[in-house]
Amino acid sequence: MNLERLPNEEKLSLCRKYYLGGFACLPFLWLVNVVWFFREAFLKPDYTEQTQIKTYVKRSALGLLFWVTVLTTWITVYQNFRAQWGEVGDYLSFTIPLGIP
């Protein structure tokens, strides 16, 4: 998407939509928001909507960092202790790995 063609009000509206969409357990939207709007928020000359775009980009980055931390922690714990959890570990798995790690 070429953000250069959008007016500043549309940029702010789009940034806000991606920020709010991330709260629907869609951290990928926060990643897109940070990647697309980082330059717009921090590297472009100042304009009136830029302060709010900065806020949304910072909050999206924090939300993304939180989700990455939570998911990485859960994946690590599950991979290390699945065999010890017995049936519960198997029920949590989509595919049941064979053997003991």
Q: What is the pTM of this model?
A: 0.82
Residue with tokens 């909050």: 59
For 72, the token pair is 């990485």
Over residues 29-48, the pLDDT tens digits come to 999 999 999 999 999 999 99
* Residues 40 and 80 sit within 8 Å (Cβ to Cβ): no
Distance CA 45, CA 32 (A): 22
Percent of the chain with pLDDT over 90: 73
Domain extents for the chain?
7-92
For 33, the token pair is 């928001």
